[in-house]
């Protein structure tokens, strides 16, 4: 998982360098695929429950699971969420970032920084003998204190030999509830934060989730390992 995470990180960093007005989301997928295959990994999302691409690219009001396309050309002021998973020798790592395309509005900038910060609020609670609800509650209360909402329809998850393992890690919930966290657990913690309503709609492609009110959404994710001493973040953007 450590090596799978290194590959995820390299691919995300390559995408980060390439994101600019005029690039297509399909081109970003190709960049990721090159890095993943060069390092001997496999894209974990391709074919997962029939998903047709190696990464998810979700622009502006798209929340998650956007499909890379030659027709989606990024433009100045957009935000694009990149979600990426890698399998290396049977082990999986999963991470996401939302990137600005050129100069973005102050409002978009703030949404990105709150979502990123919410992830670290959650990760800080990933310590042995805490419970999943402690992570969930930390994320939700931070996000709501900033005037945004957390998406309910999609959640974080255990990750390891499979992309989605128990336990689920919702971005909302009550402290002290849910599965007890133990040393050695590996989790993908991933707040999806909306400017407006938490409600989402699924588009006709069967995958792309958009905010119901058309407002912006951001997504940050790390794969982490719970150690006796606390959380270790395996991925890096």
* Residue positions counted in the chain: 237
Residues 160-199 that bind Mg ion (CB under 5 A): 188, 190
Q: How many residues bind Mg ion (CB under 5 A)?
A: 3
How far apart (Å, rounded) are the C-alpha atoms in residues 194 and 210? 10
Least gap, CB of 132 to Mg ion (angstroms): 15
Residues 55-94 that bind Mg ion (CB under 5 A): 94
In the complex with Mg ion, the residue whose CB is nearer, 23 or 32, is 32
One character per residue 91-130, x = contact with Mg ion (rule: CB under 5 A): ---x------------------------------------
In the complex with Mg ion, the residue whose CB is nearer, 33 or 94, is 94
One character per residue 17-56, x = contact with Mg ion (rule: CB under 5 A): ----------------------------------------
In the complex with Mg ion, the residue whose CB is nearer, 6 or 190, is 190
CA dist 231 to 29, 38, 107, 122, 171, Å? 30, 29, 31, 10, 17
Least gap, CB of 2 to Mg ion (angstroms): 17
In the complex with Mg ion, the residue whose CB is nearer, 23 or 93, is 93
How far apart (Å, rounded) are the C-alpha atoms in residues 154 and 150? 10
Least gap, CB of 190 to Mg ion (angstroms): 5
In the complex with Mg ion, the residue whose CB is nearer, 132 or 188, is 188
Least gap, CB of 172 to Mg ion (angstroms): 16
- DSSP-based three-state secondary structure for 94: strand
Q: At what angle do helices 2-18 and 25-38 cross, to 10 degrees?
A: 140
Least gap, CB of 216 to Mg ion (angstroms): 20
Least gap, CB of 86 to Mg ion (angstroms): 12
Position of tokens 């290194």?
6
CA dist 4 to 37, 55, 99, 145, 212, Å? 12, 15, 22, 35, 34
Q: Is the CB of residue 113 less than 8 Å from the CB of residue 123?
A: no
147: tokens are 């005037």
In the complex with Mg ion, the residue whose CB is nearer, 23 or 188, is 188
Query: Sheet containing 230-233: which strands, arranged edge to edge?
Result: 165-169, 156-158, 186-189, 222-227, 230-233
Q: Which residues bind Mg ion (CB under 5 A)?
A: 94, 188, 190
């Amino acid at each position: 998982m450590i090596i799978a995470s290194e590959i995820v990180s390299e691919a995300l960093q390559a995408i980060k360098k390439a994101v600019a007005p005029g690039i297509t989301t399909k081109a970003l997928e190709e960049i990721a695929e090159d890095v993943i295959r060069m390092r001997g990994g496999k894209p974990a999302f391709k074919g997962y429950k029939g998903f047709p691409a190696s990464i998810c690219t979700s622009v502006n009001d798209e929340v998650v699971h956007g499909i890379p396309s030659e027709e989606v050309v990024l433009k100045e002021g957009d935000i694009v969420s990149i979600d990426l998973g890698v399998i290396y020798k049977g082990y999986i790592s999963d991470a996401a970032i939302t990137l600005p395309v050129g100069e973005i509005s102050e409002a978009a900038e703030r949404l990105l920084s709150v979502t990123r910060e919410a992830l670290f609020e959650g990760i800080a609670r990933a310590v042995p003998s805490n419970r999943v609800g402690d992570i969930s509650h930390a994320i939700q209360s931070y996000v709501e204190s900033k005037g945004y909402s957390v998406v309910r329809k999609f959640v974080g998850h255990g990750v390891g030999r499979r992309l989605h393992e128990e336990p689920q890690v919702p971005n909302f919930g009550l402290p002290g509830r849910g599965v007890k966290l133990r040393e050695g657990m590996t989790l993908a913690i991933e707040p999806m934060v909306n400017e407006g309503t938490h409600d989402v709609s699924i588009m006709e492609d069967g995958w792309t989730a958009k905010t119901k009110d058309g407002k912006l959404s951001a997504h940050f994710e790390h794969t982490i390992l719970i150690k006796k001493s606390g959380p270790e973040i395996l991925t890096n953007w």
